[in-house]
Structure 1
Amino acid sequence: MSGSRSERKAVTVTDIARGSGVSRATVSLVLRGSPLVHADTRAKVEAELKRQGYVYNRSAANLRRRTSSSVALVINDLSNPFFAEFAAGVDDVVMAEGYVTLLGNTGESPEREQAVLASLMEHQPAGVILSPAEHSDGERLERVLGTQAPVLVFNRELPGAHWDFLALDNRRGARLATEHLLELGHRRIAFFGGHADSSSCRERRQGYTDALAAAGIAPSPEGLIETAPTRLDAATHSDALFADAAVPPTAAVCYNDTVALGLMLGLTAHGRRPGHDFALTGFDDIPEAALAVPALTTVAVDPRERGRQAARLLLQRIRQREQPAQQTVAPVQLLVRASSCPPPDRDGA
């Protein structure tokens, strides 16, 4: 039959432009999700697309434009609320520029990280934002990613790689938190959570020891307690703080907010009241930090803004690929809330 669907002529951008009374360029902008099109015009074009049954071939469009309409975002722990905020910030910026975000989660596994990246690269993203899994190998990842798309590494150093790097001021942030506890009168302060082979944890530990050394206090190995940077593992390992019952700490600088919130649960199980007879600080200022009971003193890094910053840096690199790789350090600030209290005896002795 001449009128069968199989013999119908494919609907073109020109057909949609003619049917909606706009230019082909406007139809193309609507198809790419550009924010430049007025809402009324967009609605009219989308209605015409639906009426005529137009199917957008994104891959073909990318080939014609010799570019991509997506940005890949690969993070190490999607369960951490910090990265939910970070991802939202990335998406805010890339969507406004007409890109979509392809999200991958590695669960702190270098093997899964390579598989996720290899899969995402099949979609030919315009660029990649990567928060590396622990024990990541920069040279191996460079071989996986090649030179097809620019890459921005976030927060954790990636030895062997030669990409742009957006870092948090981890060392200064942890020093600020430790100095705050010292000023309250604490002298037995632990550093709780994280793994020492993560660059961000090493830097935060260094800021902690810097502050103790400036106060004339030698940090003890027993005061450095490792846990996975999760609420559950922090709660499970809270008893390590009190293994030496003779001289337990009166405060802890926690690796991040998630660890601090987990430690609060563990402290309660041990009969200690966070913010009353034990002080603790976090790092990140996730939304839950201000709502915790007690509200969590933390080092604020504004995770959503860090996502926006990462996206802006990547888009700049996409436009200027010939520039040398650069490192950017994002600022931090201490937010004092109710979880940090003086020691029960006021001098920590």
Structure 2
Amino acid sequence: MTTARKPRAHRQAVTVTDIAKGCGVSRATVSLVLRGSPLVHADTRARVEAELKRQRYVYNRAAANLRRRTSSSIALVINDLSNPFFAEFAAGVDEALGGEGYVTLLGSTGESPERQQAVLGSLVEHAPAGMILSPAEHSDGLALRRQVGAGVPVLVFNRELSGADWDFLALDNQRGARLATEHLLSLGHRRIAFFGGHADSSSCQQRRAGHAEAMRAAGLEADPDWLVECSPTRAEAAGRTGELFERAPGATAAVCYNDNVALGLMLGLGARGVRPGAEFALTGFDDITEAALSTPPLTTLAVQPRECGRHAAQLLLDRVREPDAPVKRVVAPVRLVVRGSSGAQVP
């Protein structure tokens, strides 16, 4: 004969009252410890923290936020976390937010508007105090505005969104590409292609415009066939190297959409027996850490991605503190860094 087992009772959640009783302090003192208040004596704090650990107390931050009508988190949504530029940018955001007592909730969309919708939906459920968004390609600003809602302050980074009146932090894309093209022109190149990026991306449009501007100023026309599209990844850039020379026969140099594309093109050139910097000149954009370590080192536009992340965090926190302030549009400066990939004499 078998005896039926009684169902196991569910363990009740540990409360602030349980912790207070366990270490002989008031509920208010436990709450102060949970909020990290400096008003609690170090010995008392240690006793409370030991009791929290002993009873395995789990802090319900969402409920605390509702009670205080505030949030201690900021959402950060990145379009391509595999790009070292955005990894550095995210690190800068997190450093700045952490210094102000906020926790960063990170989401990555992989350039997919559908994935972006799912990520935003999940993050909004956490009721963040604000959001930093680097939009996926083909994003609909009006749709994003409706999804996020009017109550969440948002800072858009790098790519413009029509229909969303949010603060915007941009890179000086057009000037950067113009500087890169002018540098190649100064070295005697006249057949200069623009390689990488997608034509419907605002950042790509601006960088193409800077390239065309410099070419026109030198009395040259930028042939539309010499604007070669590809995803801003090394693998695709390497794979599209043949297309570059098919569409731009006789090209001696290329302004690349970003460093990832430039590093991929160098791989593609090497596979074709063409020596970057010696037989073909090229430039990047971003100055990621690997740019200075490639062979040859990459001539590029330095934009200080970690500093951009800190700047983005500060702009968003300004908006959180002053929600009715005028919308801001800030352009981060860029600086040409000359190295061996352009074939220039580097001091």
Choose which of 219, 225, 234 in structure 1 pairs with 2:222: 219
Q: Name the counterpart of 2:281.
A: 279
Post-superposition shift, 1:49? 2.4
Instruction: Tell me the secondary structure at the aligned position of residue 16 of structure 2.
Output: coil
Choose which of 174, 184, 194 in structure 2 pairs with 1:181: 184
Instruction: Tell me the secondary structure at the aligned position of residue 82 of structure 2.
Output: coil
Contact 1:257 1:283 in 2 (8 A): yes
Q: Name the counterpart of 1:347.
A: none
Choose which of 299, 302, 305 in structure 2 pairs with 1:300: 302
Mapped to 2, the partners of 1:219 and 1:164 lie a distance apart of 33
Mapped to 2, the partners of 1:35 and 1:181 lie a distance apart of 57
For residues 244-293 of structure 1, the C-alpha deviation after alignment (integer angstroms, 9 at most, x for no partner) is 68x42111100000000000000011110011111110000111111111
| Cα 1:121–1:46 shift into 2, 3 Å | same
Q: Name the counterpart of 1:27.
A: 33
Mapped to 2, the partners of 1:75 and 1:212 lie a distance apart of 33
Contact 1:138 1:159 in 2 (8 A): yes
Q: Name the counterpart of 2:208.
A: 205
RMSD of the alignment, in Å? 2.7
Post-superposition shift, 1:75? 1.1
Post-superposition shift, 1:79? 1.1
Instruction: Tell me the secondary structure at the aligned position of residue 145 of structure 2.
Output: helix
Q: Name the counterpart of 1:127.
A: 130
What TM-score do you get using the length of structure 2 for normalisation?
0.89
2:134 aligned partner, one-letter code: S
Counterparts of 1:1-349 in structure 2, within 5 Å, are: 10-12=15-17, 14=20, 23=29, 26-30=32-36, 46-243=49-246, 247-341=249-343
1:108 aligned partner, one-letter code: E
Post-superposition shift, 1:124? 0.6
Contact 1:186 1:342 in 2 (8 A): no
Contact 2:14 2:58 in 1 (8 A): no
Q: How many residue pairs get matched?
A: 335
1:207 aligned partner, one-letter code: G
Mapped to 2, the partners of 1:342 and 1:152 lie a distance apart of 38
Contact 1:131 1:156 in 2 (8 A): yes
Mapped to 1, the partners of 2:38 and 2:91 lie a distance apart of 18
| Cα 1:177–1:276 shift into 2, 3 Å | same
Instruction: Tell me the secondary structure at the aligned position of residue 152 of structure 2.
Output: coil
Contact 2:194 2:255 in 1 (8 A): yes
| Cα 1:83–1:39 shift into 2, 3 Å | farther
Post-superposition shift, 1:54? 2.6
Post-superposition shift, 1:130? 0.5
What 5-or-longer segments of structure 1 have no aligned partner?
A: 344-349
| Cα 1:41–1:326 shift into 2, 3 Å | farther
Which 4+ residue blocks in structure 1 deviate beyond 6 angstroms?
34-44
Mapped to 2, the partners of 1:274 and 1:141 lie a distance apart of 42
Mapped to 2, the partners of 1:288 and 1:48 lie a distance apart of 47
For residues 33-77 of structure 1, the C-alpha deviation after alignment (integer angstroms, 9 at most, x for no partner) is x89999999766543421343321111110111011211111111
Mapped to 2, the partners of 1:36 and 1:242 lie a distance apart of 68
| Cα 1:251–1:8 shift into 2, 3 Å | closer
What TM-score do you get using the length of structure 1 for normalisation?
0.89
Contact 1:17 1:24 in 2 (8 A): no
Contact 2:16 2:30 in 1 (8 A): no
Contact 1:19 1:48 in 2 (8 A): no
Contact 2:234 2:264 in 1 (8 A): yes
2:265 aligned partner, one-letter code: L
Instruction: Tell me the secondary structure at the aligned position of residue 206 of structure 1.
Output: helix
Contact 1:35 1:96 in 2 (8 A): no
1:10 aligned partner, one-letter code: T
| Cα 1:5–1:157 shift into 2, 3 Å | closer
What 5-or-longer segments of structure 2 have no aligned partner?
A: 1-8
- The percentage of aligned residue pairs carrying the same residue is 67
